[in-house]
């Protein structure tokens, strides 16, 4: 059979390609449109870094919670009702004055969806995935973070089995803030390790 059909007739825009793919899957009855809508809705509005920020703020304010997070992060995170898909085996890694933690997935884009939502584009890029391991301090510098050389940088490689959540350091001058106000300071980058939490 002659191989003469055009392989280049896909729309160039990724959004259009996704739409075309979705239409094809729906046409063939391979996906349920309601299920698809629910997944999109969930990860667009309900699951995101605001979840992880609540975990971090509680770890900062409740020593007993921090202890549970250290012992079994999956269970401690589930206390908030966060869990399931891509959040089954969580490990919390704590930043300290001596240690800064950085999370990557060198193989693909494993990421703790239940606490951070969907991964940002740069997290999935091959540039980040390779440089984070070869040159972690250089990677942090790319994000505007300079870690003094006496502070160790630990790189954690996420896998399908283990997802890491960085517990950033609580910034100075936040003693008066309650858990909700603290959570509002916690950024997605600070929980991946490419950022730090700044005082308001």
What is the nearest approach in angstroms of Fe ion to the Cβ of residue 156? 12
Helix and strand numbers (H, E) in the chain are 11, 4
Return the residue matching tokens 């540039």.
Answer: 127
* Least separation in angstroms between CB 70 and Fe ion: 24
Q: By C-beta, is 107 or 141 nearer to Fe ion?
A: 107
**Closer by beta carbon to Fe ion, 99 or else 133:** 133
CB nearer to Fe ion: give 54 or 158: 158
125 is a catalytic site residue = no
130 catalytically annotated: no
Q: Would you tell me which residues interact with Fe ion (CB under 5 A)?
A: 105, 107-110
Min CB(158)–Fe ion separation in Å: 6
Q: Which of 110, 114, 158, 190 is catalytic?
A: 110
Mark whether 190 is an active-site residue.
no
- Number of Cβ within a 10 Å radius of residue 111: 23
Rounded Cα distance between 119 and 189, Å, is 11
The strand pairing partners of 163, in sequence order, are: 90
- Kindly name the residue from 105, 114, 158, 190 that is annotated as catalytic: 105
- Which ranges of the chain would DSSP assign to H, the alpha helix? 14-27, 33-41, 49-61, 63-71, 73-78, 113-116, 121-124, 126-134, 136-142, 179-183, 188-192
Shorter beta-carbon distance to Fe ion: residue 47 or 105: 105
- Residue 8 Cβ, how far from Fe ion at the closest point, in Å? 29
Active-site residue set: 105, 108-110
């Amino acid at each position: 059979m002659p191989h003469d059909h055009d392989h280049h007739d896909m729309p160039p825009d990724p959004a259009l390609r996704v739409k075309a793919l979705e239409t094809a899957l729906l046409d063939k009855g391979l996906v349920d449109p309601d299920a698809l809508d629910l997944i999109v809705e969930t990860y667009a509005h309900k699951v995101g870094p605001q979840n992880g920020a609540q975990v971090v703020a509680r770890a900062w304010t409740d020593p007993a919670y921090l202890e549970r997070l250290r012992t079994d992060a999956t269970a401690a995170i589930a206390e908030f009702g966060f869990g399931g898909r891509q959040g089954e085996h969580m490990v919390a890694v704590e930043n300290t004055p001596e240690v800064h933690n950085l999370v990557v997935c060198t193989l693909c884009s494993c990421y703790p969806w239940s606490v951070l939502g969907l991964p940002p584009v740069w997290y999935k890029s091959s540039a980040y995935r390779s440089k984070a391991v070869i040159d972690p301090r250089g990677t942090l510098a790319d994000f505007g973070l300079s870690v003094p050389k006496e502070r160790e940088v630990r790189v954690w490689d996420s896998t399908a089995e283990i997802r890491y959540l960085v517990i950033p350091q609580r910034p100075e001058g936040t003693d008066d803030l309650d858990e909700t106000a603290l959570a509002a300071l916690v950024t997605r980058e600070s929980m991946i390790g490419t950022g730090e939490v700044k005082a308001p």
